[in-house]
Structure 1
Amino acid sequence: MSTQTWNETRVRELHDDLVFLYDPVDRVAEHGADPTADPGEGVRQLVTTILSQNVADENTRRASEALFDRYDDFAAIEAADHDELKETIRVAGLPDQKAARIQRALTAIREETGGAYSLAFLDAMATNDAKAWLTDIKGVGPKTASVVLNFHFGKPTMAVDTHVERVSKRFGLVPESASNGRAHEVLDEQIPDELIYPLHVLLIRHGREHCSARGANCDNPVCEKYCNCEYC
């Protein structure tokens, strides 16, 4: 783990070095100019992110397609027979838990809005308050909440998946002993608001292409400058 002190200047240097290695991140190309234009899109992203917990992207895609092909709307998903719902999303893994989490989330949203399946109310809330509202739903952790808040609403909160956590710890951005919840807090404090989304994307790419969990390929200028892991 790097022993150098991290400050805003160094975080910006890391961003620039990752951009040099991988190219700039185009948020509009990935999420559209205004992802909040469809009130239901935030709910769909929350449901899909719950499906994605601890599973590969391909299985998330298959489960999401099966879910939205089978049920006409969010009301039908919330009212679905639990056993039927879990069989529909089984390919995503942990079907019993994820079915319950999805239905709890939809119930919480409907009750909060007085009947609508929309997360638009989160847009007006402070980031910490919006994250607290989401994580009050059993089964919605800080990563799931941060994905929805950052990707959909553009709020400054880092979604820390396994790649972001691993690379951040190897670079010394986050203490090696930090829990995933603490990693979210540290990165939200360390990273300038406008860099949270691009650094999220770039750290994931670096984790996939170079800084893998085992047998990392450290022969690149970013690892040479920032990392001191066992593979360097």
Structure 2
Amino acid sequence: MDIDIRELHRDLVSLHERPDPAHTTDGVRQLLGTILSQSVADAQTARATHALFEAYPDYRAMETAPHEELADIIEVAGLKNQKAARIQRALTAIRKETGGEYTLMFLANQSTEAAQSWLTDIKGVGPKTASVVLNFHFEKPTFAVDTHVERLAKRFGLLDSTASNKRAHTELNELVPDDLKYSLHVLMITHGREYCTAQSPNCANSVCQTYCSCPACDSLDTS
């Protein structure tokens, strides 16, 4: 089935309502929070982010903190050593790029591709993390592909089932119109959490019945 992206977006809006705009005010905080969110649930991300910003008075203190201390503070987010290293590498890269400031505003006037390239040059910052920062903070036209988005894209036939995450980013960024990138990203995450879950999906909804080809949807009696 060939999927019309605008029709899918329309149907997701009908089911979940249009998401509110989400322009964050601190791009560095957005970056660090997104690093903490890698491979972990939202509740743990929120707790780790709160603990991180409670523990240190500023970004310089985070960058120069002993690695083990920082890792213990964010432990609830999982992969504490890797994420602590990524946070400190990111802060160091930002400080060196800006000549001593902790701001990402130098990315504002760069092209989406150049800004994405700068962020992903930081070890541990992949295309999803970069896309979230650029879309949510700078409103640049990037489409972040997390586990929910990738799962739905494959079940809905937007991606081949064998597509890698890297290929998913490339293909979906080409497929999704710029004006829908933020909204569709949020809507697909919402749908993936509420209905089209990884295990035991609830397919009794209009979007899944129209677009989804997962085994649970295929087994529904639509007669």
TM-score in terms of structure 2 length: 0.94
Specify the alignment match of 1:5 in structure 2.
2
Q: Partner of 1:15 in structure 2?
A: 9
Tell me the distance in 1 between the aligned counterparts of 2:47 and 2:198.
26
Please tell me the residue identity of whatever aligns with 1:46.
L
Identify which of 76, 99, 121 aligns with 2:61.
Answer: 76
Deviation beyond 4 Å, 4+ runs, structure 1: none
In the alignment, what sits opposite 1:173? Answer: 158
* 3-state SS in 1 of match to 2:215: coil
Q: What are the Cα deviations for residues 70-120 of structure 1, in whole angstroms up to 9, with x where unaligned?
A: 111001100111111111111111111111000000000011111110000
Q: AA paired with 2:88?
A: Q
Q: Deviations over 1:119-170 (max 9, x none)?
A: 0011111111111110110000111111100000001111111111100110
Residues of 2 paired with 1:139 and 1:205: CA distance?
A: 26
* Residues 159-170 of structure 1 mapped to structure 2, 5 A cutoff: 159-170=144-155
> How big is the shift at 1:5?
2.3
What is the CA-CA distance between 1:68 and the residue it aligns to?
A: 0.9
Structure 2 distance, partners of 1:60, 1:120, is 24
Q: Which ranges in structure 1 are unaligned for 5 or more consecutive residues? A: none
- The amino acid across from 2:2 in the alignment is T
Instruction: Choose the corresponding residue for 1:153, options 138, 141, 165.
Output: 138
Classify the secondary structure of the residue corresponding to 2:18: coil
The whole-number CA distance in structure 1 between the counterparts of 2:213 and 2:55 is 49
Cα distance between partner residues in 2 of 1:61 and 1:225 = 34
Q: Which residue in 2 is equivalent to 1:205?
A: 190
> How many pairs were matched up?
217
What are the Cα deviations for residues 193-230 of structure 1, in whole angstroms up to 9, with x where unaligned? 01011101111111111111122121222112111211
Per-residue CA deviations over 1:3-35 (Å, capped at 9, x if unaligned) read x224xxx100000011111111221xxx35xx4
Post-superposition offset of 1:43: 0.3
Gaps in structure 2 of 5+ consecutive residues: 218-223
Q: How far does the alpha carbon of each residue in 1:29-57 deviate from its partner, in whole angstroms, 9 at most, with x for none?
A: xx35xx4xx5xx10011011111111111
Match of 1:86 in 2: 71
Instruction: Report the TM-score when normalising by structure 1.
Output: 0.91
- Output the aligned Cα RMSD: 1.1
Q: What fraction of aligned residue pairs are identical, expressed as a percent?
A: 62
